[in-house]
Amino acid sequence: MAKIGFIGLGIMGKPMSKNLLKAGHELVVYDVVEASMKDVVAAGAKGAASSKEVAAQCSFIITIVPNSPHVKAAVLGPNGVIEGAKAGSLVVDMSSIDPIVSREVGAALAKKNIRFVDAPVSGGEPKAIDGSLSIMCGGSQADFKEAEPILKCMGASVVLCGEIGAGNVTKLANQIVVALNIAALSEAMVLASKAGVNPQLVFEAIKGGLAGSTVMNAKAPMMLDRNIKPGFRINLHIKDLDNAMAAGHAVGAPLPLTGQAREIMEALKVDGMGDADHSAIVRYYEKLAQAEVKRPS
């Protein structure tokens, strides 16, 4: 079993770190929120006072923090990983960030002979808890092979998509598809409700055909139950779509539907639903149509 450093114990990182402990790995952990650290330490991990301290004790270091600036701070900033890591260490960043930043971080670490893989995840909190995340990786074949057994303790699918940055390009593509699936499902469910057709039966009728998807199966029941408790928050999806738009602009790939989905989420954020699950996109369409999607009483 490996000794692993784990930095970032939020809604995703906490259950992911606990799955590594369950698999028998030794963990040294750090988070800026002390309560999150205490929870994971209680499960068997050893706490550290900084990212630097984590890296000084471990040659395999995982980071999963909210966005690009947080990755730069945790890895390259004062008391960051780069200050504590030994030459030859492997840093695996599982945050969902701008792929350009992944490449910048990888290049900065390479100057210190520290290896880097970007490995963002998809599946939200439920799949983080049950260890069935989809993990999309960018890096060298050799570094991926070293990381793969550890990543498989947290994910059901672990795929090398290309060089550093390719993991986050893949994650952005994933987030576009998820956002647009939820928006399309929302439109359809509101149409059914406004037209007087039971949306539960519409879901049952179409989920097995070409329109069916993992997104539909996960989010339609939430819409019908009027449940917007977050598995994946709108604020985080906004961050991902902002990164997707930036990446698209950088390479000359227009993303018109992504832009529309992004603005729908912004409207929900303004309405106070930034911390709601992204299935709350249905509330935007309900407001337009003055209709309500729910199971019949």
**Residue/partner pairs of 286-291 with CB below 8 Å, 24 or more apart:** 286/190, 288/190, 289/190, 289/191, 289/193, 289/194, 291/190, 291/193, 291/194
pLDDT in tens, 80-126: 999 999 999 999 999 999 999 999 999 999 999 999 999 999 988 88
* Helix-strand-coil split of the chain, %, nearest 5: 55, 15, 30
Q: How confident is the model at residue 283 (pLDDT cuts 50, 70, 90)?
A: very high
- Classified as helix, coil or strand, 121 is strand
Quick one: average pLDDT of 213-231?
Answer: 95
Contact yes or no for 281/183 (Cβ under 8 A): yes
Which two structure tokens, joined as six digits, stand for 244? 């997707």
Of 121-125, 157-161, 174-178, the range with the lowest mean pLDDT is 121-125
Q: CATH fold of 170-289, please?
A: N-(1-d-carboxylethyl)-l-norvaline Dehydrogenase; domain 2 (1.10.1040)
Q: How confident is the model at residue 2 (pLDDT cuts 50, 70, 90)?
A: confident
Note the pLDDT of residue 125.
Answer: 87
Question: Among residues 14, 18, 52, 171, which one is catalytic?
Answer: 171
Contact yes or no for 291/190 (Cβ under 8 A): yes
Q: How confident is the model at residue 297 (pLDDT cuts 50, 70, 90)?
A: confident
Note the pLDDT of residue 228.
Answer: 97
Quick one: average pLDDT of 199-205?
Answer: 98
Quick one: average pLDDT of 138-153?
Answer: 98
Could you give the percent of the chain with pLDDT greater than 90?
95
Note the pLDDT of residue 1.
Answer: 75
Note the pLDDT of residue 32.
Answer: 94
CA–CA separation, 55 and 28 (whole Å):
9
pLDDT in tens, 244-256: 999 999 999 999 9
Could you give the percent of the chain with pLDDT greater than 70?
100
Query: Domain 3-163 has what CATH class?
Result: alpha beta
Note the pLDDT of residue 124.
Answer: 84
Q: Which residues, 6+ apart, have CB-to-CB distance to 134 below 8 Å?
A: 121, 122, 123, 127, 155, 156, 157, 159, 174
Quick one: average pLDDT of 166-184?
Answer: 97
How much is the mean pLDDT over the chain? Answer: 97
Phi, psi values for residue 37, rounded to 5°: -65, -45
pLDDT in tens, 8-30: 999 899 999 999 999 999 999 99
CA–CA separation, 249 and 251 (whole Å):
6
Note the pLDDT of residue 107.
Answer: 98
Note the pLDDT of residue 166.
Answer: 98
Quick one: average pLDDT of 167-193?
Answer: 97
Q: Within the chain, what is the greatest distance between any pair of CA atoms?
A: 65
Q: Which residues, 6+ apart, have CB-to-CB distance to 194 below 8 Å?
A: 289, 291
Note the pLDDT of residue 139.
Answer: 98
Question: Domain extents for the chain?
Answer: 3-163, 170-289
Active site residue 171: yes
